[in-house]
Chains A and B, each alone.
Chain A
Amino acid sequence: MNRREALFSLGSMAAAGGLASSAKAAELHGVPAQTALSADNMPTPARRGGAFQVLTDDTDRATVKAVFDRLIPSDELGPSASEAGCLEFLDDQLAGDYGSGKALYLEGPLRPENEEAIMGSPQFLSTPRERYNTGLKALEAYAQKTDGAAFSALSPDRIDAILTDLEAGKLDLGKDVNGQAFFELMLQNVREGYLADPMYGGNKDMAGWKMIGFPGARYDYRPYVDRHDQDLSLTPVSIIPSN
């Protein structure tokens, strides 16, 4: 670990410590005198340039890259998912509260059939981090079995065919993985990465925002609200300038 990385991880440890110790009841008379920004309510930018934290397995990372770059390929409208930083985005998301399923209700009993019937979609007791772990391994095993090759070595057309079947619920990834739900999870996350503020690691150079004409984290459109039906050509801005 170089010094810069060490500083980053110290920073994130301090932030985590702050969160834990703030779980304290308070009796307030008047507005609290403390006026600093609340650490637990501030965005935590993705770590840049460090090693991957969750996607540490080379094969897993190659598989998810292969999937992401077919879900969002490079073309005249902009870079591919991985070029835009969507792998770094995913890794950072999976390393944090989203990946650990902190917000989810994960108490049993899990009655999978009943829950799916009632909710109209499969329900899980596993966290997004666990679902990527099992899902990517299942995709690799599937490629090895049917194509005799690594998933990441398959041709773009072949990957598209697999993704199309996954999306339609026609491809069985074994008993531990619901293929269709895993497809939806990856599709959701890759596009989040492409369209979220660049501080989270993806949407590099605001490529996703430029693609659709979204001006980003501006906060005041009063000068523009009366300019009906005009191409405003506003250059996007991000919350924290990327790089």
Chain B
Amino acid sequence: METRPKADVVICGFGWAGSTMAEELTRAGLNVVAIERGKWRDTSTDFPPAVDPDELKWHTRRNMLQPMSVETTTFRNNTGQTAAPVRNWSAYQFGWDVGGAGTHWAGMSWRFTPWDFQVATQTKERYGAGRLNELDLDFVQDWGVTYDEMETYYDRFERIAGTSGKAGNLNGQKIKGGNVFEGARKREYPTPPLKDTYWMSKYRKTVEDMGYHPFTIPAGNLSQSYVNTLGVTMGPCTYCGFCDFHGCGNFSKSSPQACILPALMRRKNFTLLTETEVLHGVKSEDGKTLTGVNCITADGTEVFQPADVVCFTAYQMDNVRLMLLSKVGTPYDPSTGEGTIGRNYNYQTCASMTGFFDDSHMNPFIGAGALGVQIDDFNGDNFDHAGLDFIGGGGIMGYSTDGRPIAHMNSLRGGAKRWGSEWKKAYARDYSTAGNIFVQGTSMPTRGNYLSLDPNYKDRHGQPLLRVTFDWAENDKKMTNWVTDKAKEIMVNAGGKDINLERQTDQSWNPYSQDSSHTIGGAVIGADPTRSALNPYLQSWDCPNLFVVGASAFPNNGGYNPTVTVGALAIRAAEAIHTEYMKNPGALVKA
């Protein structure tokens, strides 16, 4: 085993969370080593415009994603079953290579609402002290950090990412055209919103006529060129329509490559190890802290990287797996409800529908990952739930991501055949007339949903795979049924015919029939160490020099994509490390 020179901070996993933390920590003068199991990837060398518009390679074959042969998860719906490994591409879409999933995400750049951070407190206040218990939602708990405390960090991340959008709530003042339901922002978005496609304009008009409050989705696809807070220049999005699962050849998609690496890589106090996989943290003799991490390189060499502070930033799933493999904290046990590592694992409750518009030209190939119009009138707690049998809600978006021909080949009117001349006719007729709505909802934790190490299946290094035990919460099924009905009214009012509706909660969860990649929880933050793995600075309650940063920290899911909240939490954690922890190592919050 080779031992490397000691670092102040070692960062394990180099996607959005890892690169954001590295930027903050090196700027403060700390000596940082980041470790990434994938390769170096950059815009000009790996996904220039000449290579990027290739659906087969990037979208169908998922060439940028982490293959299951490197590591996969096992899955079951409940503890009565034996989990099976996920052998093929599925809803689990893990990033790898430098940039992580941040290289090929779609760019929907949301803040969570103030309610999402305090579901427990606010539900009790608004609907009565016993409401959560009545809904079988005793695992719902506050984050221990509020939206107002997060605002500065949200702002910092958006200024790095260059997010395009329009404010709907500036310092409490509601602004038409923005999202009037959002938490108060201190200033406008860095760049203005993207343009409407034809479908978006139709959707916008429809929901406006229905009395709702449409706005353009905040996007990490930039509407114009922008110089970010790190001095890096980004270009305008060309609506190329090859965005999610693809890199961006135009430097227009917020990503570690486009926004952070040009500044970070130049810093003398930063080192990046590629093709090196972190196996687990190594405990000190007294077992109270970590001395560093053990890794294995692509050529099979084992390496020990010592550090004063260890950050797991390996994406939600691997964050939890690394905690379990490092034996930090107590694994969660659903039979007793005790233990915190693996607790509050969760997903995103979604529904989608397609309607067809006779003789129209939607030109679906004009698209961008985060191009869409949304209403939040039925998201979170933006509407009164008195008299309803659930809490939470969903955003309803009319979107124009792409017209990739393989991806949409089954998007046909009224059960048309998928082969023969009938398919050719149907696809030729329907391709340019489809309009799509997506409902992206909140998810509430339950006692039975959790993560643990699998007893049967191993990865290529012989370490146990992570096992997911998950099925939909009853609350979330009721929520999505109700919100999806609202979404369907919109589609009908817009004039969509032969509506294909897919409500994901209609059957038990399984990885091959879901749309969303958004997995959360498993190492959550909170104020109570018996119910959370981490304190609100994402510091382990059990091991004060370990910070675990990613959507693994979310105790519940908002009706939004996760990444901007991940980025904001990462900056906040990194700031706490360089301003507080390094001066006075130990717990930042008293248990």
Contact = CB atoms under 8 A, between A and B. Distances in A.
Interface of A: 22-32, 34-38, 41-43, 70-73, 75, 77-78, 98, 102-107, 109, 111, 114-115, 118-121, 123-125, 160, 163, 187, 191-192, 195-197, 200, 208-209, 211-222, 224-232, 239
A120 B52 contact: no
Given A31-B262, A72-B419, A232 B62 contact: no
B336 interface: no
B127 interface: no
Interface string B39-77: 111101111111111111100111100011100100111
B584 interface: no
Contacts of B271: 27-29
Contacts of A42: 51
Given A124-B87, A213-B428, A224-B366, 11 more contacts: A25-B274, A26-B40, A28-B265, A28-B274, A31-B42, A37-B46, A73-B420, A105-B87, A211-B424, A214-B431, A218-B53
14 contacts: A37-B45, A38-B41, A41-B51, A77-B428, A105-B72, A111-B84, A114-B81, A119-B75, A212-B432, A214-B431, A217-B54, A225-B197, A229-B361, A230-B363
A219 to B, nearest CB: 5
Interface stretch (B148-156, B508-516, B519-527): B508-516
A118 B41 contact: no
B406 A191 contact: yes
A222 B301 contact: no
B240 A102 contact: no
A225 B46 CA distance: 27
B238 interface: yes
Contacts of A229: 198, 360-362
Contacts of B45: 34-38, 41
Interface in B203-258: 236, 238-242, 249-250
B360 A160 contact: no
B241 A221 contact: yes
Contact of B419 (A41, A98, A163): A163
Contacts of A34: 45
Interface in B186-202: 195, 197-198, 201
- Closest 3 pairs (CB-CB, A-B): A25-B297, A103-B67, A105-B68
B589 interface: no
Contact of A35 (B44, B298, B366): B44
B172 interface: no
Nearest to A214: B405
B258 to A, nearest CB: 13
Contacts of A36: 45
B512 A211 contact: no
A243 B416 CA distance: 34
Contacts of B275: 23-26
SS class of chain A's interface: helix, strand, loop or mixed? loop
Given A163-B419, A221-B239, A22 B363 contact: no
B56 A118 contact: no
A105 B273 contact: no
A15 to B, nearest CB: 14
A111 B39 CA distance: 34
Nearest to A217: B53
Contact of A221 (B44, B62, B240, B456): B240
A26 B53 contact: no
A213 B60 contact: no
B405 A27 contact: no
Nearest to A36: B45
Contacts of A32: 40
Contacts of B406: 191-192, 195-196
B427 A212 contact: yes
Contact of B299 (A24, A107, A218): A24
A117 to B, nearest CB: 8
Contacts of A218: 53, 240, 365
A222 B368 CA distance: 11
A111 B74 CA distance: 13
Contact of B238 (A29, A107, A222): A222
Contacts of B403: 214
B133 interface: no
A232 B363 contact: yes
Contacts of B250: 219
Interface in B247-291: 249-250, 261-262, 265-266, 268, 270-276
A16 to B, nearest CB: 16
B425 interface: yes
Nearest to B297: A25
Contacts of A196: 55-56, 60, 406
Contacts of B46: 37-38, 41
B84 A220 contact: no
Contacts of B486: none
A111 B55 CA distance: 33
A106 B53 contact: no
A221 B49 CA distance: 13
Interface centre among A73, A192, A221, A224, by most chain B C-beta atoms within 10 angstroms, is: A221
Given A28-B272, A38-B45, A106-B87, A225 B54 contact: no
B298 A209 contact: no
A220 B61 contact: no
B83 A103 contact: no
B269 to A, nearest CB: 10
A192 B69 CA distance: 23
B274 A119 contact: no
B371 to A, nearest CB: 9
A76 to B, nearest CB: 9
B530 interface: no
A118 B241 contact: no
A69 to B, nearest CB: 10
Contacts of B54: 43, 197, 217, 239
Q: Which of A78, A104, A163, A212 has the most CB of B within 10 A?
A: A212
The listed residue with most A CB atoms (<10 A of its CB), out of B72, B301, B421, B507, is: B421
Contact of A119 (B48, B84, B362): B84
B238 A221 contact: yes
Contacts of A239: 50-51, 53-54
A41 B41 contact: yes
B56 A197 contact: yes
B458 interface: yes
Contacts of B499: none
Nearest to B63: A41
Given A28-B265, A103-B69, A191-B406, A71 B419 contact: yes
